Chain A
């Protein structure tokens, strides 16, 4: 494009502008993460898996891993059940309703987890809103406390992570041409068939990235379980925090931290791969 001859790829002087940011992140962020990872695999005599073997040898830790994955799975399911229809409602809503929805989705994103988790402590009390609604609707005979229960934790976390399910799904839903479904109807397809064979496949990439976001954030959440369920219930991430800040057990903390790191990287890599595969097969 430019009249000057194109510089050879590695001699492009513009590339130097990226150097400060990249070097900063390498030194401050990437090397320490890599070091944490390497150190956890190095024993006195070289390579070792000993910390992981002894971690998994303890039944208490199995319960911690189970807690983490079970809560994350439930949060993801709840977010999907609310978020999937919500993404369609957002795409199909009229102008005013759409703006109201967008505000309700974006505003909570810039409010911190401490603020929202504290609010859920109030909502989940025995005399809180959720209890009042359930009694009012006749589901419960008398008010109950949801705070410090697993159900309360799932509800609060699902509320806090819901925008991360709605937005990626909305970003694909808004691209779907409504005429596609109409075309299916003209050709005699039932609504259910149209949904399963036209709409669902088109929204899959959004679902994959929404599920990946919510699941990985639920696995690594720290403030929310500390406030909504307390110390009796340990997840990988609260155990990591506690072993560094309270128990001063850096060995255990590093092990669980690396497990969390590997999980997070696996989710990112796996979901990117999956989204690309799905995207490739539908086009």
Chain B
């Protein structure tokens, strides 16, 4: 190894370490504070304790908000999986003009400011006479989850060898059976990973949700921001630590199913 190569190795290590530390700081800080005994966010904490986790049970409005978020995320992801998969099949298998435009259109909600989308939908829903908070949240969140599904399922479908379905049919499978026994298992990793990340995107969404919540129906991020504004204490860090854990679980499953490198594809 030449001196130059060794130096460049050191440089790579230095930059990599700095980047990792910088990127992980907020997550590590959140978890450390949530297990600390200090009320004023002292780091490193003077003592470890679970008191903030014990206080979660007594937080007013936390459980209802968590339930609303879980339900909206699950339902909107389910709807997006159906709509998104059908559309992905059309985009990959279809031979019609404008497929490029359609796929850009479907992913576009990720590229526009959520706040503006939220305002436009708020006014649109008003004009359509939709007033129910829960239904509005659900309908709005499909727009958030759909891009994740379409992007991943289109990718997986374009790698799928459709002659396998013909092969299954030649071997005596009916068409629906060929779909459920050949196509669905092949796409399962794509469904799971895209579904998981769509679910998390819906769980974490703030700028769109804030236009559709009211005093009685709040999503978790909205409720959390209210806690932060009213009385910031490490209980919020305990909730955050739960959400970080959820993200870690998603990452581990995503890595098992499609691999880290694939998840980093842009």
Residues of A bordering B, CB below 8 Å: 6-7, 9-10, 12, 14-18, 20-22, 24-25, 28-33, 35-36, 82, 85-86, 88-90, 92-93, 97, 99-108, 110-116, 118-123, 125, 127-129, 159-160, 162-163, 166-168, 170-171, 209, 216, 219-220, 222-223, 226-227, 237, 240-241, 244-245, 253-254, 257-258, 260-261, 264-265, 268
- Quick check: A12 and B96 within 8 Å, CB to CB? yes
Cβ-defined contact, B240 with A119, below 8 A? yes
In the assembled complex, how far is the CB of residue B192 from the closest CB belonging to chain A, in whole angstroms?
Answer: 14
Which residue, of B33, B94, B113, has the highest number of chain A Cβ atoms within 10 A? B113
Given A108-B23, A114-B221, A119-B27, 4 new contacts (CB under 8 A): A90-B19, A99-B260, A111-B27, A264-B116
B264, A105: Cβ atoms closer than 8 Å: yes
Name A21's contact: one of B87, B203, B228, B236 (CB within 8 Å): B87
| Contacts A14-B89, A170-B264 given; does A101 touch B19 at CB 8 Å | yes
Q: Which of A97, A105, A112, A162 counts the most B-chain CB atoms under 10 A from its CB?
A: A112
Q: Which of B1-20 contact A (CB under 8 A)?
A: 8, 11-13, 15-16, 18-20
Contact A114 B206 (CB under 8 A): yes
Chain B contacts of A166 at CB under 8 A? 19
CB-based nearest A residue for B263: A106
Sample of 17 A–B contacts (CB below 8 Å): A15-B90, A18-B94, A20-B86, A21-B106, A31-B124, A32-B124, A102-B261, A103-B260, A107-B248, A112-B203, A113-B204, A115-B204, A115-B243, A121-B232, A129-B29, A240-B115, A240-B116
Find the residue from A90, A110, A244, A245 having the highest chain B CB count within 10 A.
Answer: A110
Interfacial chain A residues near B87, Cβ < 8 Å: 17-18, 20-22
A contacts with B: majority SS: helix
Q: Which residues of B contact A257 (CB under 8 A)?
A: 115-116, 119-120
Q: For residues 49 through 101 of chain B, which have their beta carbon under 8 Å from a beta carbon of chain A?
A: 83-84, 86-87, 89-91, 93-97
Contact A119 B30 (CB under 8 A): yes
Chain B positions within 8 Å of A, measured between CB atoms, are: 8, 11-13, 15-16, 18-20, 22-27, 29-30, 33, 41-43, 83-84, 86-87, 89-91, 93-97, 102, 105-106, 109, 111-117, 119-124, 127, 139-140, 142-143, 146, 150, 197, 200-201, 203-207, 210-211, 221, 224-225, 228, 232, 236-237, 240, 243-244, 246-248, 250-251, 260-261, 263-266
Do B240 and A118 touch (CB < 8 A)?
Answer: yes
Question: Is the Cβ of A106 less than 8 Å from the Cβ of B251?
Answer: yes
B93 engages A14 (CB within 8 Å): yes
Across the two chains, which residue of chain A brings its CB closest to B109? Answer: A29
Chain B CB within 10 A, most for which of A111, A113, A168: A111
A92 near B112: Cβ-Cβ < 8 Å: no
The reply to whether B27 and A36 form a contact with Cβ atoms under 8 Å apart is no
- How many Å lie between the Cα of A254 and that of B211 in the bound state? 14
- Nearest residue, chain B, Cβ from A250: B123
**In the assembled complex, which residues on chain B have CB atoms less than 8 Å from the CB atom of A35?**
120, 123-124, 127
Inter-chain contact B41/A125, CB cutoff 8 Å: yes
| Docked pose: A33 CA to B121 CA in angstroms | 7
Most buried by B among A18, A89, A107, A240: A18
Q: What distance in Å separates the Cβ of B1 from its nearest Cβ neighbour in chain A? A: 13
In the complex, what's the smallest C-beta–C-beta distance from B3 to chain A, in angstroms?
14
